[in-house]
Amino acid sequence: MLDKDTKKFTLWVLAWPIFIELFLQFLLGAVDTLMVSRISDDAVAVVGFSNQLFQAMTTLFMTVASGAGILIAQKIGSYKTGDARTIGIMAVSVTTLIGLVCSVILFAMPEAIASMLQLPDRLLPLAGTYISIVGGGMVLIAMMATMSTVIRNTGNTRGPMYVAIGMNVIHVIMNYGFIFGAFGFPQWGLTGVAISTVASRLLAVLMLLYMFLRAFEYKIKWKEFRVFDRPLFGEILKIGWPLGINMSCWVFSQLVIYSFIAQLGAAELAARTYMNTLESFCFLLGSSIAMAAQIQIAHLYGAGRTREAYRSAYRALGIGAIYVIVNAFVLYVFGKQLLGLFTDDKTIIAIGASLLGMNLILQPGKMLNMALGNSLNAVGDTRFTMYISLGSMWIVATVLSYVLGIYMGWGLIGIYSCMIADEYLRGVLSYFRWRGQKCLRKAESQAPADSVKMPGESVAAAGV
Digitized pLDDT (tens) for each residue of the chain, 464 residues in all: 445 555 667 887 888 888 888 887 777 666 766 777 777 778 877 887 787 788 778 878 888 898 999 999 999 988 898 999 999 999 999 999 999 999 999 999 888 888 877 777 788 888 888 889 988 999 999 999 999 999 999 988 889 989 988 888 888 889 889 888 888 889 888 888 889 989 999 999 999 999 999 999 889 999 888 888 899 999 998 998 998 888 888 877 887 888 888 888 878 888 887 888 788 878 888 999 999 999 999 999 988 888 899 999 999 999 999 999 999 999 999 988 888 887 888 888 888 888 888 999 999 999 999 999 999 999 989 999 999 999 999 999 999 999 999 989 898 899 999 999 999 999 999 999 999 988 888 877 765 544 444 333 333 333 33
Question: 333 and 200, same structural domain?
Answer: no
**For residue 85, is it within any domain?**
yes
Are 374 and 426 contained in the same domain? yes
260 and 163 share one domain = no
Distance CA 376, CA 385 (A): 7
The model's pLDDT over 59-115, given as tens digits with 9 standing for 90+, comes to 788 888 989 999 999 999 888 989 999 999 999 999 999 999 999 999 998 888 888
d(CA 50, CA 44): 10
Count structural domains, the chain: 2
Is 463 contained in some domain?
A: no
Examine residue 458 and state whether it is found in any structural domain, yes or no. no
288-314 pLDDT tens trace? 999 999 999 999 998 888 889 999 999
3-state secondary structure of 275: helix
Does any domain span residue 143? yes
- Domain assignment of residue 456, yes or no: no
- Do 69 and 174 belong to one domain? yes
CB atoms within 10 A of CB 1: 4
Closest by CA position to 92, among listed 69, 63, 65: 65
Residues 263 and 168 in one domain: no
d(CA 325, CA 322): 5
Q: Is the residue at 452 inside a domain?
A: no
Q: Are residues 245 and 382 in the same domain?
A: yes
Whether residue 224 sits in one domain with residue 156: yes
- Same domain? For 165 and 302 the reply is no
- Is residue 213 located within the same domain as residue 270? no
Query: Are residue 261 and residue 377 in the same domain, yes or no?
Result: yes
Give a yes or no: residue 450 inside a domain: no
Look up the domain containing 275 and give its range. Answer: 239-442
Residue 464 within a domain: no
Measured CA to CA, the distance from residue 400 to residue 407 in angstroms comes to 10
Do both 146 and 265 map to the same domain?
no
- Residue where a domain terminates, one of 228, 262, 290: 228
Question: What is the 8-class DSSP label of residue 218?
Answer: S
